[in-house]
């Protein structure tokens, strides 16, 4: 293996940073700055190797020239997956000034997420998100500590608890029934199901959060989507933290400040309105609380009042909307795509659903309990297409992982996409084969480290139950009620499965289909 100090930094930058041409001078100066800094002062990886450590463990070398692995426009998770084939399950990359540790094996993932859980209970700092948040970044980006613990408790026990998820059942059923009506209206013509799935899923999340449909919520959801998109186009300043001014020069800071103003206007307005109406609504016995109501009620309670300011509530709500916005629809989209390609699987699940719920116009959640195959399909989709391809953490102290020194502040990317395709863990890993989960104990709880779609441990996704409830009901109804064909005479094997890049990995090209109502349903 060839080891050079700068090779990786420069080769990986174009992968991580998508930038406009007018930013080129800034980028070049930054790279030049780094080269000079490296030449004259050395860089942090060389400091790493000089650290005093107990005998045995060794510094994880920075990999050398990897140009051969980086094909044009390939996503970072695929680049890192390919690197692992050559260099092993743990690789140290230098990206700008940041030490990045890529992990692609379940054993190493377990060491990080379980054995040394506390060391890695921190998320990478994101100056981009910080600029668009109000307090300490809600749950997702709050530093591990007392504040995070309190907010996490509110989210897990109050906002996304099993009881609360059940309470939103009729909301899900109503929204999905609206989706079915929209699909019916396409009357056998080609249409973009990806967009409809996205709107439905988004509608569920927004209505659960605010209890209403209104135009300002559409504005909020587009701002959150745009914000996530901008954040996924990782800014140069993220990998050169000492060049703090870059985010000002490249316009990212201004855009984030704009999003913050949009969030302030909409969320500030909604919180003020809901405060006025809350007491009368909550005293009505038929009233179902939405998430903002719950947070405002907790704001009045002596136990939680001290840390639930209006700004914290805004951050938490942005976490809820942001956490669910692209992820759940991505799973429905990928599952449907896989079934379009694998007609046997589609037929099998349709038969199971249609036999068990004969003649029903629409499936309710209670109808799904007996449909095991649908659950296997969702797991298999999450294995091959985890919407969040990385579980991202930061080391809070120097530690040793897999026999290597990992310095404090290293960013760790556990590649869930790669874990789901590891031939050491999965037979015939590239094949979409839901039956593999049939007699397996592997579940979504994050205790099987080859399958981490929702992460694991203390910072595991608190929205998993909420997400799965929507995904199951939406997918079940779509395949129960309609028969599906690809548009424009496309054969199943011609359907592309190209991934978009971003924080959430969805299809790059929308799924264009033709739906025909099935004669025995409804």
* Residue 432 C-beta: closest distance to ligand HEM, Å: 17
Q: Considering the complex, state which of residue 172 and residue 253 has its C-beta at the smaller distance from ligand HEM.
A: 172
Binding of residue 395 to ligand HEM (CB under 6 A): no
CA distance 1 to 62: 11
Among 5, 37, 114, 152, binds ligand HEM (CB under 6 A): 152
CA distance 1 to 57: 19
- H-state helical runs in 326-409: 327-341, 343-356, 365-368, 372-384
**Residue 406 falls in which region: left (phi positive, over 0), alpha (psi -120 to 50) or beta:** beta
Binding of residue 385 to ligand HEM (CB under 6 A): no
Contact region with ligand HEM (CB under 6 A), list: 82-90, 96-104, 383-391, 492-500 = 383-391
Contact region with ligand HEM (CB under 6 A), list: 27-35, 63-71, 186-194, 318-326 = 318-326
Binding of residue 202 to ligand HEM (CB under 6 A): no
Binding of residue 203 to ligand HEM (CB under 6 A): no
Please answer whether residues 325 and 228 qualify as being in contact, where contact means their C-beta atoms are separated by less than 8 angstroms: yes
Binding of residue 503 to ligand HEM (CB under 6 A): no
**Residue 96 falls in which region: left (phi positive, over 0), alpha (psi -120 to 50) or beta:** left
Instruction: Tell me, by CB under 6 A, how many residues bind ligand HEM.
Output: 25
Among 89, 434, 463, 502, binds ligand HEM (CB under 6 A): 463
Region 320-359 residues binding ligand HEM, contact defined as CB under 6 A: 320, 323-324, 327-328, 331
Residue 327 φ then ψ, to 5°:
-65, -55
Binding of residue 466 to ligand HEM (CB under 6 A): yes
CA distance 55 to 459: 32
Binding of residue 238 to ligand HEM (CB under 6 A): no
C-alpha to C-alpha distances, 15 to 113, 135, 234, 273, nearest whole angstrom: 26, 31, 10, 44
CB atoms within 10 A of CB 128: 24
Binding of residue 453 to ligand HEM (CB under 6 A): yes
* Residue 277 C-beta: closest distance to ligand HEM, Å: 23
Q: Helices then strands (H, E): number in the chain?
A: 22, 10
* Residue 513 C-beta: closest distance to ligand HEM, Å: 21
Q: Considering the complex, state which of residue 7 and residue 137 has its C-beta at the smaller distance from ligand HEM.
A: 137
Strand pairing report for 90-95 and 482-486:
unpaired
Among 391, 401, 505, 513, binds ligand HEM (CB under 6 A): 391
Cβ-proximal residues to 480 (8 Å cutoff; 6+ apart), any chain: 350, 353, 354, 357, 363, 518, 521
Please answer whether residues 464 and 323 qualify as being in contact, where contact means their C-beta atoms are separated by less than 8 angstroms: no
Among 387, 407, 420, 434, binds ligand HEM (CB under 6 A): 387
Which residues of this protein are in contact with ligand HEM, per CB under 6 A?
139-140, 152, 160, 319-320, 323-324, 327-328, 331, 387-388, 391, 453-456, 459-463, 466-467
């Amino acid at each position: 293996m060839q080891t050079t100090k700068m090779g990786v930094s420069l080769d990986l930058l174009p992968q991580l940073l998508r930038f406009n041409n007018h930013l080129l001078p800034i980028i070049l100066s930054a790279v030049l700055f780094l080269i000079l800094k490296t030449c004259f002062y050395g860089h942090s990886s060389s400091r790493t190797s000089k650290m005093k450590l107990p005998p045995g463990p060794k510094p994880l070398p920075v990999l050398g020239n990897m140009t051969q692995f980086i094909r044009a426009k390939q996503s970072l998770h695929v680049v890192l997956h390919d690197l692992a084939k050559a260099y092993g399950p743990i690789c140290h990359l230098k990206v700008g000034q940041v030490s990045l540790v890529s992990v692609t094996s379940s054993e190493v993932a377990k060491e990080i997420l379980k054995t040394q859980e506390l060391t890695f209970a921190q998320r990478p700092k994101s100056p981009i998100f910080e600029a668009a948040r109000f307090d300490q970044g809600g749950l997702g980006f709050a530093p591990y500590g007392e504040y995070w613990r309190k907010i996490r408790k509110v989210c897990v026990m109050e906002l996304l608890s099993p009881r609360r998820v059940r309470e939103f059942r009729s909301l899900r059923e109503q929204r999905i029934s609206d989706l079915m009506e929209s699909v019916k209206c396409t009357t056998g013509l080609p249409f973009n199901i990806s967009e409809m799935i996205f709107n439905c899923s988004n509608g569920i999340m927004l209505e659960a959060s605010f209890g209403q449909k209104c135009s300002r919520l559409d504005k909020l959801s587009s701002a959150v989507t745009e914000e996530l998109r901008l954040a996924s186009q990782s800014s140069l300043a993220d990998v050169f933290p000492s060049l703090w001014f870059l985010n000002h020069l490249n316009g990212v800071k201004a855009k984030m400040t704009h999003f913050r103003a949009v969030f302030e206007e909409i969320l500030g307005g909604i919180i003020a309105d809901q405060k006025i109406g809350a007491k009368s609504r909550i005293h009505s016995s038929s009233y179902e609380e939405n998430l903002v109501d719950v947070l405002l009620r907790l704001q009045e309670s002596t136990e939680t009042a001290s840390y639930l300011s209006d700004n914290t509530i805004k951050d938490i709500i942005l976490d809820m909307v942001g956490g669910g916005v692209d992820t759940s629809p991505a799973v429905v989209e990928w599952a449907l795509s896989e079934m379009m390609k694998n007609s046997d699987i589609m037929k099998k699940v349709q038969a199971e659903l249609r036999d068990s719920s004969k003649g029903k116009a629409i499936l309710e959640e209670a109808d799904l309990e007996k449909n095991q195959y649908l659950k296997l399909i969702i797991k298999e989709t999450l294995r091959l297409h985890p919407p969040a391809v990385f579980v991202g953490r930061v080391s809070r102290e120097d530690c040793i992982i897999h026999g290597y020194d990992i310095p404090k502040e290293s960013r760790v990317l556990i590649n869930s996409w790669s874990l789901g395709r590891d031939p050491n863990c999965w037979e015939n890993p590239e094949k979409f084969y839901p039956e593999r989960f049939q007699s397996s104990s592997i579940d979504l709880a994050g205790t099987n480290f080859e399958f981490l779609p929702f992460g694991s441990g203390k910072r595991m996704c608190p929205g998993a139950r909420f997400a799965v409830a929507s995904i199951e009901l939406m997918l079940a109804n779509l395949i129960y009620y309609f028969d599906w064909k690809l548009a424009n005479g496309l054969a199943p094997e011609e359907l592309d499965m190209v991934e978009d890049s971003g924080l959430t990995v969805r299809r790059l090209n929308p799924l264009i289909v033709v739906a025909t109502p099935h004669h025995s349903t409804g």
